[in-house]
């Protein structure tokens, strides 16, 4: 009598309903099987970012058209990852078993020991001299920053102000803007001054002691990396012909409407860029990391079984840079290896 081979299992953070971070739990689930154009990645490091939080508790409501109307479409969250390829589909030609890889998976699944990623999306091999912790938080903030800078048209010698310079997107934008040759003014709070200064901006403003909108300075680009300001507050900072760029919808979803209203003839333009995650962008970021021109800023590292605490901390909106989740160091698997931090 033939017996069915049991499906290999793995540990994953899952949720079956929307709600606060405590809807998340870690349990054993079936290990995914790669399709023909998939690579199977053993996840060593992931992150908790605002996309994960937005899909766990969708706000505004229309996000549910992407995350699932009544219940979560993506049971296991996590977009960013760094790990090792342990299996490949029949049509995979870009990666081999044993490759160390990193990137962003828009299908989620990185809060688990294994995940499937299509070979043609935003995934690339890691530099040989970088750890999984170095690379896990590079791609998402880096690609969002690249998108905003591309849309803004910032050029060498131009002036950019970055509000929220200590977050995942902000720390990435400071570094990439400097790499492009722009004059960078970074705005953050007192606790993050030194961390932001270490990224090389030309000017750092502590918004708790200085009103950055009242300095008399003007900029070619004003970028709100955290969605906590507005075009109305920052308008006088933007030079004629310049741009106000936001990573967020803004109060009452005003930024998309302002972007349409100022599309052609307005002296000052509002933009809310739509990111496109591509393999080329991840490869570009890999090169910048390898050359020493870019690094992910890490605030804290949690184990997978601390996913509720990690998520709750991210939602305080007080993190500096990125929050890592050490999947391969989960307490349930002490033999999985030691990673460099």
Work out the angle at residue 281's Cα, subtended by the Cα atoms of residues 126 and 279, and round it to the nearest 5 degrees: 70
Copy the structure tokens of residue 8: 């290999």
Tell me the pLDDT of the chain (341 aa) as tens digits. 555 667 799 999 999 999 999 999 999 999 999 999 999 999 999 999 999 999 999 987 878 988 999 999 999 999 999 999 999 999 999 999 999 999 999 999 999 999 999 999 999 999 999 999 999 999 999 999 999 999 999 999 999 999 999 999 999 999 999 999 999 999 999 999 999 999 999 999 999 999 999 999 999 999 999 988 888 899 999 999 999 998 876 554 676 666 666 766 788 888 888 899 999 999 999 999 999 999 999 999 999 999 999 999 999 999 999 999 999 854 333 333 333 32
How many Å apart are CA 196 and CA 46, to the nearest integer? 23
Copy the structure tokens of residue 159: 């002036």
Q: Which domains does the chain have, with CATH numbers?
A: 9-138+296-336 (3.90.180.10), 140-271 (3.40.50.720)
Helical pair 279-291 and 168-179, crossing angle rounded to 10 deg: 70
Evaluate the CA torsion angle 289, 272, 178, 173 in order and state its sign. negative
How many Å apart are CA 312 and CA 48, to the nearest integer? 10
């Amino acid at each position: 009598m033939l017996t069915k081979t049991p499906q290999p299992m793995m540990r994953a953070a899952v949720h079956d309903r929307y709600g606060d971070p405590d809807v998340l739990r870690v349990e054993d689930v079936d290990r995914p099987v790669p399709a023909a154009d998939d690579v199977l990645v053993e996840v060593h490091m992931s992150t908790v970012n605002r996309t994960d939080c937005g899909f766990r508790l969708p706000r505004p409501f229309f996000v549910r058209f992407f995350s699932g109307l009544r219940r979560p479409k993506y049971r296991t969250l996590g977009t960013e990852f760094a790990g090792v390829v342990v299996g490949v589909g029949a049509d995979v030609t870009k990666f081999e078993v044993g490759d160390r890889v990193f990137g962003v998976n828009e299908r989620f699944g990185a809060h688990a020991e294994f995940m499937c990623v299509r070979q043609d999306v935003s995934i690339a091999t890691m530099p040989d001299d970088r750890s999984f912790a170095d690379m896990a938080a590079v791609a998402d903030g880096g690609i969002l920053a690249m998108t905003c800078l591309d849309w803004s048209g910032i050029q060498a010698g131009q002036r950019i102000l970055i509000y929220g310079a200590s977050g995942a997107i902000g720390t990435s934008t400071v570094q990439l803007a400097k790499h492009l040759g722009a004059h960078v003014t970074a705005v953050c709070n007192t606790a993050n001054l030194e961390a932001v200064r270490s990224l090389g901006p030309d000017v750092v403003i502590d918004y708790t002691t200085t009103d950055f909108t009242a300095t008399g300075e003007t900029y070619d680009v004003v970028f709100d990396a955290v969605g906590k300001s507005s075009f109305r507050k920052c308008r006088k900072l933007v030079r004629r012909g310049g741009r106000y760029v936001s990573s967020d919808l803004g109060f009452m979803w005003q930024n998309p409407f302002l972007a349409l209203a100022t599309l052609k003839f307005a002296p000052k333009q509002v933009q809310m860029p739509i990111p496109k995650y591509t393999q080329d962008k991840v490869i570009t970021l890999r090169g910048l990391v390898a050359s020493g021109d870019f690094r992910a800023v890490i605030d804290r590292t949690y184990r997978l079984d601390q996913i509720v605490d990690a998520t709750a901390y991210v939602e305080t909106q007080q993190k500096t840079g990125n929050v890592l989740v050490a999947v391969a160091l989960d307490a349930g698997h002490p033999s999985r290896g030691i990673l460099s931090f």
